[in-house]
Amino acid sequence: QKEVEQNSGPLSVPEGAIASLNCTYSDRGSQSFFWYRQYSGKSPELIMFIYSNGDKEDGRFTAQLNKASQYVSLLIRDSQPSDSATYLCAVDGDTDKLIFGTGTRLQVFP
Amino acid sequence: DTGVSQDPRHKITKRGQNVTFRCDPISEHNRLYWYRQTLGQGPEFLTYFQNEAQLEKSRLLSDRFSAERPKGSFSTLEIQRTEQGDSAMYLCASSSAEGQPQHFGDGTRLSIL
């Protein structure tokens, strides 16, 4: 059973700080890694994807991948109250489906 | 660029009734996926299509569930003889190719009375 693990949180950070969200996965064969943001009652919104070891930056977001440790993280710089949401980590399964973690709830307080 | 469209947004029905949901993917995407999400959980994979071919079905998809994508464009997901446990958000996503990012629609929230 392929698994994706996330701390459910909530992770509380002050406005302007860096939020660090972490995810581990069980399948060493996984090749594609995604972060989705989900506001309460809404559908998941893709914010980052990464395929290779190392860092990938897009605006205030940085995705980090370490395949040897089976670990992927998302950093959000200059966190804003509008970033408050649940962040879902997703990993490709043995076919084209995605396997999701249960999500980490982020709260950014003013 | 039009995103993934799902209809209806909300469906309330009585236990035992049949329901059908529709998904229109992003126009140039040939892969279409269905997921189900319950409160406090991440989305769970149900099935996916490449063009009109259904390539995989999850064990979660009992015989009461059927999905089609007859012309390789829109897809329908039908649930027959609905049960209380079918209450969830049903999410559709599409992508341009294997391994590429999947983009989700707004979902259909199903409530079983």
Instruction: Work out the pLDDT band at B37, boundaries 50, 70, 90.
Output: very high
Amino acid identity of residue B83, one-letter, is E
Contact A43 B106 (CB under 8 A): yes
pLDDT, tens digit (0-9, with 9 covering 90-100), for B48-66: 999 999 999 998 888 999 9
Using a CB-CB distance cutoff of 8 angstroms, which residues of chain B are in contact with residue A34? 101-102
Residue A21 has a CB neighbour count (10 Å cut-off) of 21
Q: B103, A95: Cβ pair inside 8 Å? A: no
| Residue A72, C-beta contacts closer than 8 angstroms, at least 6 positions apart | A22, A23, A24, A25, A33, A35, A50, A63, A64, A65, A66, A89, A91
Q: Using the beta-carbon criterion (under 8 Å), do B45 and A97 form an inter-chain contact?
A: yes
Task: Give the nearest partner residue to A43 out of B41, B58, B105, using CB atoms.
Answer: B105
pLDDT per residue of chain A (110 residues) written in tens, 0 to 9? 789 999 999 999 999 999 999 999 999 999 999 999 999 999 999 999 999 999 999 999 999 999 999 999 999 999 999 999 999 999 998 888 999 999 999 999 99
Rounded to 5 degrees, φ, ψ at B27 are -60, -35
Q: How far is A56 from chain B (nearest CA, A)?
A: 15
Q: Is the Cβ pair B42, A49 closer than 8 Å?
A: no
